[in-house]
Amino acid sequence: MIVTGASSGIGRALAERAARAGWRVFAVGRRAERLEELKRAGSGATGAIATSATDVREAGAPARIVRDALGSFGRIDVVVNNAGTVASGPISLQSDEALREQLATHVIAPLALVREALGELRRNRGQIVFVGSGVARIPVSGLGAYPPAKAAVRSMARIARNELRPFGIAVTYTDPGAVATEFMTRAGFSGPPGWIGASPHEVARRILHAIERRKSVVNAIPWQTAVVALGELFPALTDLVLTHAPQVVGTKVAGPPKDVKPPGQTRQLPEFARKLEPLPEPPTLQPKQQPLSPFEAALEPIAYRMRRSNLSATFVSSLLLPGAELEVGDVALSWAGMPNKHERELTHQVLEALADAGFLARLDQDRYSVVRPYQ
């Protein structure tokens, strides 16, 4: 199984889960250090993980990925096109480079990867997975070309399904819903609220289930898909809500810009912001914030939900004792007393985030061991 965008979020969760289920996974991502962490995390799995630090948009990258995957495992049965990128700002003011980057990542590179792997997929009656988004059906402002790129993904998945069915190749389109990963926060957005954001591991579980059953469509969070379908019926009302409450879908700009210069220097605004009028400079500039520690960065995507649930980062850090074993139910009981379903799920998300960041090693679905104590 080839999985692109495997250095974080859904891609990493899928690679780990597939390896534990016995798959041999060729994990592709841009961050080599994250891929090394992934390989170590999968070292005890019944399957195997090989990695490639590659930008799928690079010239020749799809052919190289297929060649290296065959070199590692000798065959290709599934291609999961999960790599994604977003450029914040109005679509009408996006630079040519930003537009090309988003369309290349979501449309051109996946199709090129499918083309390069087609011989293997035909030989093995394989499967292709395209990861879409709810914004393919309800366009959201402020995400640049990301919504139209995902609309193209939804369309090309359907076309590819019809074209490749005679060759025994299954094509799956996945709508993952709003997922609590670093994808949106890296672009400067708040990300989905805690009560909406789904765990990437739950989405990965549903994708793997769909692969094993060769499903055509996966709606990872069914209630969100139902809301999107309802929103399509009332576009004017939906646009009004999204315009005045962008935090509902996580596109509210998160805090002050991160490129603030020290006093006496001019702050360089993003290109799209420089084209908007008026653009008054604030009377005072705040000093640059200290970078987050690895522990803080691991919990940042779910920090809002932790605050809402009164789960303190201090308590979480106290769990990271050398050699300690943590079980989801025990940890939830320690901070919530009699935990309900949501508190237990939050506990699971916290432990998964720490495992993704290398603080914990997964023993099974609900048990972890501390491999990197808090300092």
Rounded Cα distance, 190 and 17, in Å: 27
* Letter string b/e over residues 212-246, b meaning 16 or more CB atoms within 10 A of that residue's CB: eeebebbbbbeebbebbeebeeeeeebeeebeeeb
Yes or no: say if 188 and 254 are a contact pair by the CB < 8 Å rule.
Answer: yes
Yes or no: say if 270 and 189 are a contact pair by the CB < 8 Å rule.
Answer: no
Q: Where are the alpha helices (DSSP H) in 42-108?
A: 61-73, 96-103
Catalytic pick from 146, 173, 368, 374?
A: 146
Query: What pairing do the DSSP bridges indicate for beta strands 325-327 and 367-370?
Result: antiparallel
Instruction: Specify the amino acid at residue 253.
Output: V
Rounded Cα distance, 131 and 207, in Å: 9
Can 146 be counted among the known catalytic residues? yes
Rounded Cα distance, 141 and 131, in Å: 20
Rounded Cα distance, 161 and 168, in Å: 10
Rounded Cα distance, 111 and 95, in Å: 23
Instruction: Specify the amino acid at residue 297.
Output: A
Rounded Cα distance, 313 and 327, in Å: 17
Rounded Cα distance, 181 and 174, in Å: 17
In which residue are the tokens 């520690």 written?
A: 293
Q: Select from 136, 131, 180 the least CA-distant residue to 298.
A: 180
| Catalytic site positions | 146
